[in-house]
């Protein structure tokens, strides 16, 4: 059980670092990155990439994924293996994450795997944001989600290769957001259901918007119940000199394409500490469907923490126009590459949104797309 990290004075409990304090099978520790081409002339084939690596100590599993959208196709590489004791070497098969400079510079390498490869370096544009702890309870008092996370906006450089075609990732046009989180959330194979939730969940509403502008970045996190009761409200502006400013309780206005839950435009009206409005006007562009190849629920073939065998890897493609997939897409969180304006500055970043079931403020009345 003893590993290299135990040489350092970083222990938080009388346990080896590789053993977590909770015996909950759903304990996890993972990172998420997105990379998006913000070029104004990118057109309908604009590329967006999402990738991450996770450790699941109580399941004995580690895994990683790369999910690339270009046009109407998402292409995924999945990798999984048995967990090891050396957490300083973050690696799953041919996928490796190197912390070049903590909280600032990260290098991610995927050696050629069924025609896909990448060598990308992340450089933070602003300091990381420590988000508020996130807690969700199930039917009784057991947490279904109890996590800590930090986020950051930054730029990418390097090379992405797909079937022999290289794309140069230059930091002038390629940017994104990242987060690292750890704690408890559903991972691995499903547990027995137990007593049904009482009362049953009528709806779920989630909004996560990290955006980078010229002189500041903003990270907005909002979660609401079906009636609009806000259970998570975390809105932070970070300036280049490290100053952190809370931006109140945003008013949310999202336009959806008729008959769908696909956002076409959003205005988030926040409040500065002096009481003045901080208006973020957002135009979603292309998007990645996280639950088709990303592991975030909805796709039984690939979910975070599932044991797939030693040294597992595969490549899978998803045609987003396939009618067989169309019914799955609305019931998951969607990561949109977005352009935004705020306080006279133009910015870019992530507009992550999911709303399922009833949500009174948005007008959705049930699990269909019908609205008041």
Q: What is the pLDDT along the chain (372 residues), one digit of tens a residue?
A: 788 888 889 899 999 999 999 999 999 999 999 999 999 887 778 899 999 999 999 999 999 999 999 999 999 999 999 999 889 999 999 999 999 999 999 999 999 999 999 999 999 999 999 999 999 887 667 888 999 999 999 999 999 999 999 999 999 999 999 999 999 999 999 888 777 777 788 999 999 999 999 999 999 999 999 999 999 999 999 998 889 999 999 999 999 999 999 999 999 999 999 999 999 999 999 999 999 999 998 788 899 999 999 999 999 999 999 998 888 888 899 999 999 999 999 999 999 999 999 999 999 999 999 998
Burial of 173 (0-12, 13-18, 19+ CB in 10 A): middle
Phi first, then psi: give them for residue 235, nearest 5 degrees.
Answer: -130, 115
Please provide the CATH number assigned to the domain covering 28-188+201-362: 2.40.370.10
Q: H-helix or E-strand containing 147? A: strand 143-162
Total-model pTM: 0.95
Domain locations in the chain as residue ranges: 28-188+201-362
Q: How far, CA to CA in Å, does 105 sit from each of 20, 60, 126?
A: 26, 28, 11
Q: H-helix or E-strand containing 51? A: strand 48-56
Q: H-helix or E-strand containing 80? A: strand 73-82
Burial of 178 (0-12, 13-18, 19+ CB in 10 A): buried
Give dist(CA 101, CA 130) in Å, integer: 18
Number of CB atoms found within 10 A of residue 40's CB: 7
């Amino acid at each position: 059980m003893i590993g290299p990290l135990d040489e350092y004075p970083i222990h938080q409990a009388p346990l080896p670092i590789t053993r977590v304090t909770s015996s909950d099978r759903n304990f996890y520790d993972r990172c998420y990155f997105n990379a998006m081409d913000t070029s104004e002339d990118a057109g309908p084939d604009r590329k967006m990439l999402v990738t991450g690596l996770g450790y699941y100590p109580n399941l004995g599993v580690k895994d990683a994924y790369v999910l690339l959208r270009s046009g109407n196709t998402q292409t995924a590489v999945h990798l999984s293996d048995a967990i090891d004791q050396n957490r300083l070497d973050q690696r799953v098969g041919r996928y490796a994450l190197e912390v070049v400079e903590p909280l600032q510079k990260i290098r991610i390498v995927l050696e050629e795997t069924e025609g896909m490869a990448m060598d990308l370096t992340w450089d933070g544009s602003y300091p990381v944001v420590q988000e508020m702890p996130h807690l969700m309870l199930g039917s009784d008092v057991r947490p279904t989600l109890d996590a800590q996370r930090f986020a950051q906006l930054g730029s990418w450089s390097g090379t992405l290769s797909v079937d022999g075609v290289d794309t140069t990732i230059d930091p002038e046009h390629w940017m994104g957001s990242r987060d690292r989180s750890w704690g408890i959330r559903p991972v691995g194979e499903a547990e027995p259901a137990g007593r049904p939730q009482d009362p049953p969940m009528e709806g779920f509403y989630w909004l996560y918007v990290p955006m980078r502008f010229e002189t500041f970045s903003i990270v907005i996190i909002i979660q609401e119940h079906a009636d609009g009761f806000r259970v998570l409200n975390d809105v932070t502006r970070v300036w280049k000199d490290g100053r952190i400013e809370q931006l109140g309780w945003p008013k949310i206005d999202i336009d959806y394409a008729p008959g769908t839950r696909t956002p076409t435009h959003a205005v988030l009206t926040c409040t500065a500490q002096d009481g003045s409005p901080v208006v973020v006007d957002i135009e979603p562009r292309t998007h990645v469907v996280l639950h088709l190849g990303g592991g975030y629920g909805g796709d039984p073939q690939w979910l975070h923490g599932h044991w797939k065998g030693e040294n597992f890897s595969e490549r899978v493609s998803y045609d987003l126009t396939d009618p067989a997939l169309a019914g799955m897409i609305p019931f998951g969180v969607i990561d949109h590459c977005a352009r935004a304006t705020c306080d006279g500055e133009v910015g870019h970043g992530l507009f992550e949104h999911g709303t399922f079931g009833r949500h009174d403020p948005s007008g959705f009345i049930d699990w269909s797309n019908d609205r008041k």
